[in-house]
C-alpha cells in the first residue's frame, strides 16, 4: 500500500523533509486557504504540487486531496446551488489536469471530527485526543442550550454533565468550545456559541433522509465530471459516528455506507475507509465492512480507538484499542492483489496513519490537533510492520 502523510502546507512545522524521514512518499494535502464553495484554480493547484515535488531527492508526490470541501448550502439543499456545483466541477477538472485523481471529502453538517479533549494524558506524559460523552453533553445542554438536547443524552451522562458544568470556570468552557472547534481543518467557519446556534438553525429541517437526498444530488452533479476526468471520490465517515448537536449523520455504519454507494453507480463513487471513525461506533465490524466494500475503497485512514459504555472513546495506540487492525490490513492487501491481477494501473491503495499521540519532543508543539510527527511516525512504523508481515506470509503485493 502507498504510504502517505497528511501535510498541512508550507506553513506546517513538519516539513516535507521530515515527512520523507518517516518513510512516506505520498502527500495528502488541500488548499485550506480557499473558502468552501470557491474554485481551486489550476494555477494554485499546480503551485502547491510543484512545491511538494520540487526537491526530487525526496521523491514525494501529491497523492490525495483531503479534503475538497462541500459547501454547507449543498448539505442543506436550498437556494441556488448551481454556482456551487459548477465551482466544484471546475475544481475537479483542475485537479485532474494537474495529475491528481484521488479526492477525499465529507458530508458531515457544520462540524468535521469532534473531540472534547485534545490533550488527554497517556502513561509516560504523552497526550491523546478524547471524546468525553459527559463533556459533550455539558456543551450541548448547558452551554449551547439547544432545544430538546436533554433527550439525546442518557440520564447518567446528563448527571455528570451537570456536575462538570457547575464546577467549571469560564476558562474551562472556553477550552471546551475551542476543542470542539479544533476539528475544522481550514481557516474558516470557526464558531462561537451565537454563530453556532445560527448555523444549526439553518439545518433544523434537514433530517437524515433529506441529508441523504442532498448527498445523492451532489453525487449526480459531480460524478459525470469524475468519470470524464478520472477522479475517484472517497467519502469520509462521520466522526464521531453518531448524531451531533441535533445534526443527522448518514455515514456511520455498514448500512449507511451501502446506502451511500447505492446513490450513484459510478465506481468513482467510493469510500475513504477510516478505521478510527467507524471504530468508535459499537457494532461496526471493521474487517467485515472492509471486505464488503473493498472494491469501492479509494483511500484508507488507519488508527484505533478504545470505547467506553457511555459513548466516550479515546484515541488509542494504532495497534491497541478495539479495532482489529491486522485483520483490516489483511483485507486491504488482498484487495490490492485483486486489483493488480485485474491489470489496474492504480492498484495500490493509499493509506495514512491517521492521528497520533503527542509523544516525546512533540508534546506542546503547535501542530494541528491529532497530527504530531512522532505519534504518527510510530503509527506508520507499526502499520508498516504489520503490512510487511502479512504480505510475506500470504504472498501479497505491498
Active centre residues (catalytic): 236, 274, 301, 354-355, 371
* Alpha carbon 332 to its chain's center: 18
Rounded to 5°, the CA angle 185-359-287 comes to: 65
Q: What is the largest CA-CA distance in the chain?
A: 62
DSSP of 265-312, one letter per residue?
Answer: --TTEEEEEEHHHHHTSTT--HHHHHHHTGGGEEEEEE-EEEE-TTS-
> Is residue 62 helix, strand or coil?
strand
Q: Which three cell numbers stand for residue 119?
A: 490533550
Inter-CA distances, 101 with 63, 82, 221, 350, Å: 8, 23, 18, 12
Phi, psi of 118 (to 5 degrees): -105, 10
Q: Answer yes or no: are the C-beta atoms of 282 and 253 closer than 8 Å.
A: no
Question: Of 45, 28, 64, 67, which is closest to residue 186 (Cα–Cα)?
Answer: 67
Amino acid at each position: 500500500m502507498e504510504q502517505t502523510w497528511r501535510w498541512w502546507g508550507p506553513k506546517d512545522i513538519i516539513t516535507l523533509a521530515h515527512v520523507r524521514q518517516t518513510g512516506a512518499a505520498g502527500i495528502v494535502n488541500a488548499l485550506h486557504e480557499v473558502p468552501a464553495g470557491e474554485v481551486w484554480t489550476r494555477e494554485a493547484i499546480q503551485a502547491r504540487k510543484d512545491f511538494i515535488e520540487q526537491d526530487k531527492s525526496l521523491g514525494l508526490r501529491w497523492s490525495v486531496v483531503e479534503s475538497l470541501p462541500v459547501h454547507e448550502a449543498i448539505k442543506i439543499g436550498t437556494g441556488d446551488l448551481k454556482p456551487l456545483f459548477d465551482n466544484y466541477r471546475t475544481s475537479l477538472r483542475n485537479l485532474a489536469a494537474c495529475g491528481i485523481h484521488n479526492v477525499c471529502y465529507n458530508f458531515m453538517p457544520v462540524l468535521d471530527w469532534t473531540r472534547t479533549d485534545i490533550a488527554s494524558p497517556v502513561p509516560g506524559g504523552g497526550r491523546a485526543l478524547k471524546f468525553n460523552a459527559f463533556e459533550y453533553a455539558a456543551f450541548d445542554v448547558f452551554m449551547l442550550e439547544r432545544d430538546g438536547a436533554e433527550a439525546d443524552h442518557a440520564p447518567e451522562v446528563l448527571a455528570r454533565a451537570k456536575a462538570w458544568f457547575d464546577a467549571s470556570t469560564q476558562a474551562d468552557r472556553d477550552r471546551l468550545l475551542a476543542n470542539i472547534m479544533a476539528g475544522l481543518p481550514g481557516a474558516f467557519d470557526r464558531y462561537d456559541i451565537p454563530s453556532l446556534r445560527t448555523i444549526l438553525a439553518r439545518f433544523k429541517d434537514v433530517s437524515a433522509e433529506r441529508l441523504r437526498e442532498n448527498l445523492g444530488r451532489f453525487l449526480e452533479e459531480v460524478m459525470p465530471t469524475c468519470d470524464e476526468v478520472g477522479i475517484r471520490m472517497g467519502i469520509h465517515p462521520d466522526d464521531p459516528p453518531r448524531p451531533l448537536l441535533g445534526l443527522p449523520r448518514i455515514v456511520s455504519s455498514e448500512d449507511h455506507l451501502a446506502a451511500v454507494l447505492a446513490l450513484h453507480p459510478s465506481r468513482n463513487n467510493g469510500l475513504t475507509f477510516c478505521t478510527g471513525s467507524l471504530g468508535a461506533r459499537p457494532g461496526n465490524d471493521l474487517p467485515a465492512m472492509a471486505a464488503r466494500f473493498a472494491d469501492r475503497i479509494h483511500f484508507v485512514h488507519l488508527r484505533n480507538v478504545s470505547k467506553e459504555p457511555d459513548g466516550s472513546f479515546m484515541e488509542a495506540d494504532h495497534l491497541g484499542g478495539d479495532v482489529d487492525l491486522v485483520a483490516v490490513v489483511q483485507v486491504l492487501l488482498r484487495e490490492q492483489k485483486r486489483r493488480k491481477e485485474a491489470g489496474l494501473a492504480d492498484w495500490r491503495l493509499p493509506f495514512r496513519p491517521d492521528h497520533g499521540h503527542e509523544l516525546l519532543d512533540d508534546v506542546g508543539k503547535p501542530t494541528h490537533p491529532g497530527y504530531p510527527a512522532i505519534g504518527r511516525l510510530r503509527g506508520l512504523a507499526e502499520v508498516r510492520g504489520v503490512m510487511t508481515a502479512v504480505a510475506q506470509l500470504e504472498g501479497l503485493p505491498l
